[in-house]
């Protein structure tokens, strides 16, 4: 039984989400304690319980301690199932945070998996759905075909957003004797991630989205104006506008870089809020992206955080904008479940497998 210290580093939900993903993938049970120990309200929140409930269904897992406020859980997974799964997180719980637990095990299922997820698509302290689909998801396609078939925006507090994904795995874990044999075969077939050389940016792309009720105030257009003004004449900028019906009013702008080979390695975003001018939202997102572009990084630290489990499986080395607490937490959890050791070069902001 693997022991996970939930108070490691920032002691946030990232440790639990990654542990759930890797436990389900490797079929190794674990106990986690001191969950969110350093938070003002420690223990499990509804968002974390949604991840646990979803993987309990997908892997027929046995779970102890899965209740609101619990500081420890025991999770013992079975084989990952395939088919169609509908999961309602409730209110505006983040769909993209749920996917940090779900996506890694299902891309190695025995057959096709369709996920129908209800919750928040663009919420505070989580990855917006456009960042997930445009920046993170392409890297998972090295292991499986992952398509987003449908989306509906869901903002805080009501949420009620919808994301439907269709996953066609290319490698099936159950075809191998054990996980060590599977990982060895995977490394012989999948190219390692070597993201060390910065490529020239050809353009900036993005999506500025707002609830339909905000169209009369031209909110999506004004977010675009703020971003374009911030970029000046540095790069060609292509930002789509979008208005949509939502249960709660909200706005978001997500931006990403595109190089001459159509690769995306960096992104940034900003959420609108009451009393915050739309132009300022666009300026904020553009400023974040420019900050990453101007440093030595090849990938931004949010992407690096999500690449750590894939790096553990395929091997490689990446250069990021900073070594965040989430990156360290993911490294810690990966080393508990997988036969892998990481090195972190603090001066160069590089992470690599030994």
Active site amino acids: 326
Nearest by Cα to 212 from 246, 259, 166: 246
Which DSSP string corresponds to 112-157?
Answer: -EEEEEEEBSS-TTS--HHHIIIIIHHHHTTTEEEEEEEEE--BTT
Quote the crossing angle between the two packed helices 95-106 and 13-26, to the nearest 10°: 20
CA 147, 133, 326: angle at the middle one, nearest 5?
A: 125
**Phi and psi dihedrals of 247, rounded to 5?**
-70, -35
| b/e code 275-297 from CB counts within 10 Å (16+ = b) | eeebbebbbbbbebbbebbeeeb
CA distance 168 to 27: 20
| CA-based end-to-end distance of the chain | 25
Query: Kind and range of the H or E element at 316?
Result: strand 316-319
Alpha helices (runs of H) in the chain, residue ranges in sequence order: 13-26, 46-59, 95-106, 129-131, 137-140, 179-189, 219-231, 278-294, 301-314, 325-337
Bridge partner residues of 165 (DSSP): 115, 148
DSSP state of 299: B
CA distance 119 to 148: 15
The separation between CA 269 and the C-alpha centre of its own chain, rounded to angstroms, equals 14
């Amino acid at each position: 039984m693997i022991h996970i210290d939930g108070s490691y580093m920032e002691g946030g939900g990232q440790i639990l989400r990654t542990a759930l993903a890797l436990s389900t993938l490797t079929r190794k049970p674990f106990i986690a304690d001191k969950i969110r120990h350093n938070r003002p309200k420690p223990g499990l929140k509804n968002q974390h319980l949604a991840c646990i409930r979803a993987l309990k269904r997908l892997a027929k897992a046995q779970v102890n301690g899965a209740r609101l406020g619990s500081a420890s859980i025991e999770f013992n997974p079975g084989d990952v199932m395939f088919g169609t799964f509908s999961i309602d997180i409730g209110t505006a719980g983040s769909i993209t945070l749920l996917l940090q637990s779900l996506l890694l095990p299902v891309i190695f299922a025995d057959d096709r998996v369709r996920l129908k997820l209800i919750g928040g698509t663009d919420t505070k302290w989580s990855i917006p759905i456009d960042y997930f689909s445009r920046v993170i998801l392409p890297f998972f396609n090295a292991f499986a075909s992952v398509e987003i078939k449908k989306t509906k925006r869901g903002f805080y507090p009501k949420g009620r957003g919808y994301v439907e994904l269709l996953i066609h795995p290319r490698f099936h874990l159950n075809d191998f004797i054990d996980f060590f044999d599977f990982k060895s075969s995977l490394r012989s077939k999948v190219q390692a991630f070597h993201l060390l050389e910065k490529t020239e940016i050809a353009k900036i792309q993005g999506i500025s989205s707002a609830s339909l009720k905000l169209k009369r105030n031209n909110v999506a257009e004004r977010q675009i104006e703020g971003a374009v003004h911030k970029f000046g004449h540095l790069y060609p900028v292509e930002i789509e506008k979008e208005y949509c019906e939502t249960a709660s009013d909200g706005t978001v702008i997500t931006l990403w870089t595109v190089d001459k080979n159509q690769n995306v390695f960096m992104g940034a975003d900003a959420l609108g809020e009451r009393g915050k001018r739309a132009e300022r939202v666009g300026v904020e997102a553009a400023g974040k992206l420019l900050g990453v572009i101007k440093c030595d990084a090849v990938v931004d630290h949010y992407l690096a955080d999500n690449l750590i489990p894939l790096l553990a499986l395929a091997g490689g080395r990446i250069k990021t904008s900073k070594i965040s607490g989430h990156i360290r937490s993911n490294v810690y959890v990966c080393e508990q479940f997988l036969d892998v050791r990481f090195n972190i070069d603090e001066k160069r902001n590089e992470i690599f497998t030994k």
